[in-house]
């Protein structure tokens, strides 16, 4: 069974304090790994897709990296508006429906 | 299109009542998904449409749940004889190819009392 585990469950940072969120996965045949941001009461908002080990993507203060077993979302000099739940999800090659299997998310709080 | 629209945003219903949710995907997207999310959990796959055909249903989707996508446009998700365990956020998403992830709507929050 495909598994996605995110850590930590919650992270509290001071504004400007850089850190990383982890997503470890156990799947048979990874097609892609996805990062989403979710604000309270809203649907997930797409951030990045990573397809192969060694790949990196960047957007503003966020940088996502991928290895064969895990992905990291690095947050550099975060601001309070970066506070949200960050979700990691995987797609596997055997699924022709392209469904996503999500982790439980990391709740990030950035204090001013 | 400005994105995936879901209606209503919130629904409170009494146990045993039937409810129906609507999703309007991005117009050029032929793939449509329904997910369910409970507090503190990530979204869980419920069902998938390609155009008007429902191609997969999760084992989470009991016989009380039914989904349709007439003419491959909007979709509805109906829950019959609601139970308290059905309380959750129901999310709809659409994509053109499946590759590269998809766009989610803001969800419908269902509370069964």
- Partners of A45 on chain B (C-beta within 8 Å) are 104
**Tell me: the pLDDT tens digits for B6-36?**
999 999 999 999 999 999 999 989 999 999 9
> Residue B17's pLDDT is what?
98
Quote the pLDDT of residue B60: 83
Compare CB distances from A98 to B44, B91, B99 and report the shortest one's residue.
Answer: B99
Give which of B25, B45, B98 to mutate to test A binding, by max A Cβ within 10 Å. B98
For residue B96, the model assigns a pLDDT of: 86
Measure CB to CB from residue B100 to each of A45, A49, A87 and give the nearest one: A49
Give A-chain residues touching B99 at CB under 8 angstroms: 31-32, 98
Residues of chain A with pLDDT under 50: none
Q: Is the pLDDT of residue B108 over 90?
A: yes
* pLDDT tens string B41-79: 999 999 999 999 999 999 888 899 999 999 889 999 999
Provide CB contacts within 8 A for A64, sequence distance 6+. Answer: A35, A47, A48, A50, A56, A57, A58, A71, A72, A73, A74
Query: Which tens digits make up the pLDDT trace of B84-101?
Result: 999 999 999 999 876 677
* Chain B residues in contact with chain A using a Cβ-Cβ cutoff of 8 Å: 4, 6, 31, 33, 40-45, 48, 55-56, 91, 93, 95, 98-107, 109
Residues of A within 8 A of B31 (CB-CB) are 98
Distance CA B41, CA A77 (A): 27
pLDDT for res B98? 65
pLDDT computed for residue B86 by the predictor: 97
């Amino acid at each position: 069974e495909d598994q996605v585990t995110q850590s930590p469950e919650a992270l509290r940072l001071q504004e400007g304090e850089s850190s990383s969120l982890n997503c470890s996965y156990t799947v048979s045949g990874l097609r892609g790994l996805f990062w989403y941001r979710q604000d309270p009461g809203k649907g997930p908002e797409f951030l990045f897709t990573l397809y192969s080990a060694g790949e990196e993507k960047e957007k503003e203060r966020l940088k996502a990296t991928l290895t064969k077993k895990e992905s990291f979302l690095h947050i550099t000099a975060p601001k309070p508006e970066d506070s949200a739940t960050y979700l990691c999800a995987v797609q596997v090659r055997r699924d022709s429906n392209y469904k996503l299997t999500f982790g439980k998310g990391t709740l990030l709080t950035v204090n001013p | 299109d400005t994105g995936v629209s879901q209606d209503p945003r919130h629904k409170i219903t009494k146990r045993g009542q039937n409810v129906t949710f609507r999703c309007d995907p991005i117009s050029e997207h032929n793939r449509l998904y329904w997910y369910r999310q409970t507090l503190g959990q990530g979204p869980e796959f419920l069902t998938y449409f390609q155009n008007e055909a429902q191609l997969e249903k999760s084992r989470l989707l009991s016989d009380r749940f039914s989904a349709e996508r007439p003419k491959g446009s909007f979709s509805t998700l109906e829950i019959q004889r609601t139970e308290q365990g059905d309380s959750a956020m129901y999310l709809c998403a659409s994509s053109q190819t499946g590759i590269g992830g998809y766009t989610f709507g803001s969800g419908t929050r269902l509370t069964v009392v």
